[in-house]
Amino acid sequence: MTALELRRAGHRVTLYDGWEPGHSRAASSGTHRVIRAAHGSDELYTRWARESRLRWLELEQAWDVELYRETGGLILAEEGRSEWEEAAIPTLARLGVPAMRLSPDELRLRWPHIDFQRVAFGLYEPEAGFVWSRRAVVTGFKTFMAGGGEFVRARPTTTPDERLAIEGSPLVADRIVVATGAWMAEMFRRTLGRFLRVVRQDVIYTSPPEGNTAYDADNHPVWIDHGYPGYGVPAVDGHGFKAVIAWHESDIDLDSDDRVVDRTTLARSRQYLAHRFPELVGQPITDQKVCQIVMTPDSHFLFDTHPEHDDMVLAGGGSGSIFKHGPVVGEYVAGIAQGLFGPDPRFTLANRTSLPLESSPTGR
C-alpha cells in the first residue's frame, strides 16, 4: 500500500521482494484478517480502523473485486478483566462508531451455539468484519504494476552498518522504505533487536457440522475472546471456521522452520473449541496456516526514519493487527517518506525504551 501511494504521488517506485506477491511466507498471505474499530481507549487506532474500512470499500469498487465482508464483530469481555472493553465503549460512542453492550443473556439469545461461560458482557460492532487479505495484496500489486510501478524479485538484506542491500549490493535511491514485517528484526538487529519480538501464529480451520449454518458468515460474527485468549473468523465461501489461539510462547526461525501447525497448537485449539464452541468438538480440521507476527513492547506500530540513515524509513511492528489499517498506513508511511510530516511520537524509536507489553493478546 505504501508503494502504491508513492506511485500515485508521481514518484518512480521499485518494489523488492524475495518471493512473489502474496507468497506463502508473508504474514498477509492468509485468507482473511479481522477489521474492527474497538481499540480500548485509543482514539487514533479507532479512527484509523474506521477510515481504513471505508477505504477498503472504495478499493473494492475501484478494483471490482470483493475485499471486505461485513459480518459484525463480537469482543468477549472476561469476568473480572473487562477494563479494555469498558474503555472502548465511550471511545466508540464519542467517535460515532455503532456498537452495543450485550449481557450474557442477550448473547445467548443471539448466538445460542456459543458457550459464554466466564463472559461478563459482549461488545458488538455491527459494522465490523474481515478483509480478504491475500486477495487484497495481490490485487494491490497488480494495480501498482498497471500504474507504472516496477518490481524486482530479489532478497533484501542489510550491510554491517545497516544500509539496505539487494543480493549483497547496496541499494541506491532517493528514499528507501523498509516494510519487511518479521524480517525487520533480523535485518536491523542492532537498531530494532530490542524493540521487536518475532513469534509464530498457528491457525486452524474446522469444518462445521454438516447442514449447520450457525457458523457461517451470514450468521456468525468475527470475534475476539480476550479471556481465553483467542479470535477468529466464521466459515465463508468454502473456507472452514477459523480459530486462532493467541499465545506467544513459540519462536520461529523465519528461514528454516516448516509452516506446519504443531501438535501442541492442535491440542490447544481443540481445547478452546470445546470451551467456547462445544458443537465443534470432534469435527475435522480441514485447513491450517502458520505465519509469523512481530510485536513491539508496547504494541504500538513502528514508523520512523533509521537513526543513522535519514534516507531510510522503517515501517512495521504489530503485524498481528496492522493489516486492517493497510490503506491508512500506506498513506501515512508514504507521507513520512516524502517528508510531508514526521511520525507521531508513539511510533518512533526514541520513545520505545522500557514500556511493558500490553495485556491485550490480540493487539491494538
The confidence score (pLDDT) of residue 199 equals: 86
User: What's phi and psi for 203, nearest 5 deg?
Assistant: -125, 135
The confidence score (pLDDT) of residue 362 equals: 46
Q: What is the pLDDT along the chain (364 residues), one digit of tens a residue?
A: 999 999 999 999 999 999 998 888 887 888 999 999 999 999 999 999 999 999 999 999 999 999 999 999 999 999 999 999 999 999 999 999 999 999 999 999 999 999 999 999 999 999 999 999 999 999 999 999 999 999 999 999 999 999 999 988 999 999 999 999 999 999 999 999 888 988 888 899 999 999 999 999 999 999 999 888 899 999 999 999 999 887 655 778 888 888 888 888 889 899 999 999 999 999 999 999 988 888 888 889 999 999 999 999 999 988 778 999 999 999 999 999 999 999 999 999 988 753 344 434 344 3
The confidence score (pLDDT) of residue 46 equals: 97
Give just the sign of the alpha carbon dihedral 109, 114, 115, 116.
Answer: negative
Query: Quick count: other Cβ atoms within 10 Å of Cβ 59?
Result: 21
The confidence score (pLDDT) of residue 298 equals: 85
Contact 95, 175 (CB under 8 A): no
The confidence score (pLDDT) of residue 364 equals: 37
As given in the structure block, the three cell numbers for residue 329 are 498506513
| Domain definitions of the chain by residue range | 15-26+143-196+298-351
The confidence score (pLDDT) of residue 229 equals: 86
- Which CATH superfamily, name and number, covers 15-26+143-196+298-351? FAD/NAD(P)-binding domain (3.50.50.60)
Give just the sign of the alpha carbon dihedral 333, 339, 341, 345.
Answer: positive
Contact 95, 242 (CB under 8 A): no
Could you write out the three-class secondary structure of 168-186? CEECCCCCEEECCHHHHHH
